[in-house]
Amino acid sequence: MLELTQQIVNGLSLGAIYALIALGYTMVYGIIKLINFAHGDIMMVGAFVGYFSLTMLGTNILIAMLTAMAACAILGVLIEKIAYRPLRNSTRIAALITAIGVSLFLEYITIFILGPSQKVFPDSAFPIKAYDIAGLSILNKDLFVFVSAVVLMLILQYIIKWTKTGKAMRAVSLDQEAAVLMGISVDKTISITFAIGSALAAAAGVMVGVYYNTVNPLMGIIPGLKAFVAAVLGGIGIIPGAMVGGFVMGLLETMVSGYGNSLYRDAVAFGVLILILLIKPSGIFGKDTGEKV
Amino acid sequence: MQKNKLIKFSTEVIILAVLFSLVQYLITTGLLNQYYQINLTSMCINIILAVSLSLINGFTGQLSLGHAGFMAVGAYASVIVTNMWDYPFIAGLLAACAAAGLAGFIIGVPTLRLKGDYLAIATLAFGEIIRVTLQNIDYVNGPAGILGIAKLTTWPWLFGATVLTILVAVNLINSSYGRAIISIREDEIASELMGINTTKYKVLAFVIGAMFAGLAGAMYAHYFYIIKPETFNFLKSFDILVMVVLGGLGSTTGAIIAAISITALTAALQSFPAIRMILYALILIIVMIYRPQGLMGNKELSLKTFGRIWSGRK
Chain A residues closer than 8 Å to B277 by CB? 104, 107-108, 111
Chain A residues closer than 8 Å to B113 by CB? 278
Å between A279 CA and nearest CA of chain B? 10
Residue of A29, A81, A91, A108 best to disrupt the B interface, most CBs of B under 10 A: A108
Identity of the residue in B114, B132, B288 whose CB atom sits nearest the CB atom of A264:
B132
- Tell me, yes or no, if A263 comes closer than 8 A to chain B by beta carbon: yes
Residue of B nearest to A229 (CA): B121
SS3 state at A117: coil
> Per residue, what are the HEC states of chain B?
CHHHHHHHHHHHHHHHHHHHHHHHHHHHCCCCCHHHHHHHHHHHHHHHHHHHHHHHHHHCCCCCCCHHHHHHHHHHHHHHHHHHCCCCHHHHHHHHHHHHHHHHHHHHHHHCCCCHHHHHHHHHHHHHHHHHHHHCCHHHCHHHCECCCCCCCCHHHHHHHHHHHHHHHHHHHCCHHHHHHHHHHHCHHHHHHCCCCHHHHHHHHHHHHHHHHHHHHHHHHCCCCCECHHHHCHHHHHHHHHHHHHHCCCCHHHHHHHHHHHHHHHHHCCCCHHHHHHHHHHHHHHHHHHCCCCCCCCCCCCHHHHHHHHHCCC
Asked if residue B120 belongs to a domain, the reply is yes
Does the structure show a pLDDT above 60 at A281?
Answer: yes
Q: Is A109 in contact with B278 (Cβ distance < 8 A)?
A: yes
Asked if residue B169 belongs to a domain, the reply is yes
Most distant pair of Cα atoms in chain B: their distance: 62
Q: What is the pLDDT of residues A19-41, one digit of tens each?
A: 999 999 899 988 888 888 899 99
pLDDT (0 to 100) of residue A278: 79
- Tell me, yes or no, if A291 comes closer than 8 A to chain B by beta carbon: yes
Chain B residues closer than 8 Å to A86 by CB? 289
Which positions of chain B have pLDDT values less than 70?
1, 303, 309-310, 312-314
pLDDT (0 to 100) of residue B289: 87
pLDDT (0 to 100) of residue A288: 65
Chain B residues closer than 8 Å to A289 by CB? none
pLDDT (0 to 100) of residue A290: 56
Q: What is the pLDDT of residues A40-51, one digit of tens each?
A: 999 999 999 999
- Tell me, yes or no, if B238 comes closer than 8 A to chain A by beta carbon: yes
Asked if residue B80 belongs to a domain, the reply is yes
Parent domain of B106: 41-233
Asked if residue B284 belongs to a domain, the reply is no
Quote the mean pLDDT of chain A.
Answer: 87
A235-248 average pLDDT score: 88
pLDDT (0 to 100) of residue B314: 44
Q: Is B284 in contact with A97 (Cβ distance < 8 A)?
A: yes
Identity of the residue in A98, A273, A278 whose CB atom sits nearest the CB atom of B288:
A98
DSSP state of A67: H
Residue of A nearest to B111 (CA): A278
Chain B residues closer than 8 Å to A87 by CB? 288-289, 292
The number of folded domains in chain B is 1
Residue of B nearest to A116 (CA): B274
Asked if residue B208 belongs to a domain, the reply is yes
Cα–Cα distance measured from residue B183 to residue B280, given in angstroms and rounded to the nearest whole number: 30
Contact A50, A205 (CB under 8 A): yes
Q: What is the pLDDT of residues A46-76, one digit of tens each?
A: 999 999 999 888 888 889 999 999 999 999 9
Residue A191's CB: how many other CB atoms inside 10 A? 18
Chain A residues closer than 8 Å to B136 by CB? 261, 263-264
Cα–Cα distance measured from residue A152 to residue A22, given in angstroms and rounded to the nearest whole number: 13
- Tell me, yes or no, if A90 comes closer than 8 A to chain B by beta carbon: yes
Q: What is the pLDDT of residues B101-118, one digit of tens each?
A: 999 999 999 888 887 778
Asked if residue B27 belongs to a domain, the reply is no
DSSP state of A163: S
Asked if residue B65 belongs to a domain, the reply is yes
Asked if residue B159 belongs to a domain, the reply is yes
pTM of the entire structure? 0.87
A246-263 average pLDDT score: 84
Cα–Cα distance measured from residue A107 to residue A116, given in angstroms and rounded to the nearest whole number: 10
CB proximity list for B137: less than 8 A, separation 6 or greater: none
Identity of the residue in A101, A271, A277 whose CB atom sits nearest the CB atom of B114:
A277
Contact B79, B269 (CB under 8 A): no
Lowest mean pLDDT among A114-118, A276-280, B105-109: A276-280
Nearest-Å Rg of the Cα atoms of chain B is: 19
